[in-house]
Amino acid sequence: MEAFFAFVCVFLALTALVASEASDILSAVISLSVFGVLMAMVFVILQAPDVALTQAVINSGLVTSFFLVAYSQTQKKSLPKQEKDPGDDI
Amino acid sequence: MRLRDRLHDLVLLCLCLGMGWWLWEGVAAIDDPEYIIGPAAYYLVNTAKETGAVNVVAAILFDYRGIDTLGEATVIYTTVCGVAMLFSKSKYKKSSAGLSFIARRGISFVVPFLFMYGSAIILMGHLSPGGGFQGGAVFATITILFCIVFGSSFEASRISPKTKETIESLGGLLFVFIGGVGLLAGAGFLANTAAGFPRGQVGNFLSAGTIPLLNVAVGMKVGAGLSTIFYSMVKVLDLEFNEQLTEVMDNDKN
């Protein structure tokens, strides 16, 4: 079990690093969502299931969808400027 | 410049790994029972006796610290009002057509289970982990899934924004009303068993006095509130683009 805790903690650090360092915003958002799920696991291990439920729902459901909506509405720097079609966004 | 970036990365790596190590230390130290001291020990011993709730966290949230929860609910209410007011414009014109047929069918199969899951979290809040806030967030996630998969106009046609407003306000009113009952009984605002609410058998579904009722109230508030925030943001983003388009066309005419 200790090994599992250590694995989760190392993976948490890794996903946090990817979320802060990734140049592609989409990978950063998805990595943050994975971070939230792992964090929920840690909360269960730390015997706080109430907080774990909140963390799982809010971080991997609501926050990810908010970030994805924001991502879909911003203009990407690397792409050439183009007229957006309102139909293909959320 | 490149060296500075590397240094920056290194510092961040050390910070993340250090925090992960710290967390692991905390996890490893959890087995010691001598950590339960002070108020925690009191709550663990007396909660079931005083409130009839098995879930100590829910008992603290809705009984011992009920007025704090009311303050929290007020914060969410204010946020929802602010966002809805900022983004309140006339009716949006266009929404997305949604995702593919397969995604729609898949979501249709999943949604009833999600619905049951959210209801269980809210209604069993005093027995098992969960409660109004968590269950409300699950309900908000259902409406967000509808928004994404079927398009925001479909979501609005099924659950109109007006209905959401009504549900949220009703949740807030229910919370204050239950608190007022305690006040009328002379036991103080948001009093539970002291105000004459039946405590019931510990562990039964119908037990713990006001706690399940307050869970339902908070669930209504949070679910409707969060989905209102998401809906109004998505709606105005659709709208903004259309307005920009019409502005450009007007300028062209002039």
Q: What is the pLDDT of residue A23?
A: 80
Secondary structure letter of residue A74 according to DSSP: S
What is the residue-wise DSSP string for chain B? -HHHHHHHHHHHHHHHHHHHHHHHHHHHGGG-GGG--THHHHHHHHHHHHH--S-HHHHIIIIITHHHHHHHHHHHHHHHHHHHHHT--S--------S-HHHHHHHHHHHHHHHHHHHHHHHTTTTSS--HHHHHHHHHHHHHHHHHHH-HHHHHHHS-HHHHHHHHHHHHHHHHHHHHHHHHTTS-TT-SGGGT----STTSSS-STTHHHHHHHHHHHHHHHHHHHHHHHHHHHHHHHHHHHHHHHHHHH-
> Do B241 and A52 count as a contact with CB atoms less than 8 A apart?
no
pLDDT at B52 > cutoff 70: yes
Contacts of B17 in chain A (CB under 8 A): 13
The whole-angstrom distance between B177's CA and the closest CA on chain A is 26
Out of A46, A53, A69, name the one closest to residue B27 (CB): A46
pLDDT confidence tier of residue B113, bands split at 50, 70 and 90: very high
Find, among B142, B28, B4, the residue nearest to A6 by Cα: B28
pLDDT in the model for residue A86? 52
Contacts of A26 (CB under 8 A, 6+ apart): A71
> Token pair of B173, please?
């009113």
Given a cut of 70, is residue A68 above it in pLDDT? yes
Residue B205 near residue B128, CB atoms below 8 Å = no
CB contact under 8 A, B137 and A62: yes
Nearest-by-Cβ selection for A69 from B19, B23, B233: B233
Put simply, whether the predicted model's pTM sits higher than 0.95 gets the answer: no
Please state, rounded to an integer, the average pLDDT across all residues of chain B: 79
Looking at residue A48, what DSSP letter applies? Answer: -
**pLDDT, tens only, B179-212:** 888 888 777 787 777 777 777 777 777 777 788 8
Least confident stretch, A55-59, B32-36, B44-48: B32-36
Please say if the pLDDT value at position A77 is more than 70.
Answer: no
User: What would the mean pLDDT of B152-167 be, rounded to a whole number?
Assistant: 79
| Mean of pLDDT over chain A | 79
| B251 pLDDT tier (thresholds 50, 70, 90) | low
Residue pair B123/B139 in contact (Cβ under 8 Å)? The answer is: no
Chain B residues inside the 8 Å CB shell of A16: 16, 19
ipTM value of the model?
Answer: 0.71
Range with the poorest average pLDDT among B7-11, B111-115, B222-226: B7-11
For residue B253, what pLDDT is reported?
58
Provide the residue type at B161 as one letter.
P
Whether the CB of B205 is below 8 Å from some CB of chain A: the reply is: no
Q: Which of A32-46, B145-159, B173-187, B229-243 has the lowest mean pLDDT?
A: B229-243
C-beta separation of B29 from B21 below 8 A: no
Return the axis-axis angle of helices B211-253 and B101-123, rounded to nearest 10°. 150
Sign of CA dihedral B230, B236, B237, B238: positive
Average the pLDDT over B86-103 and give the result: 67
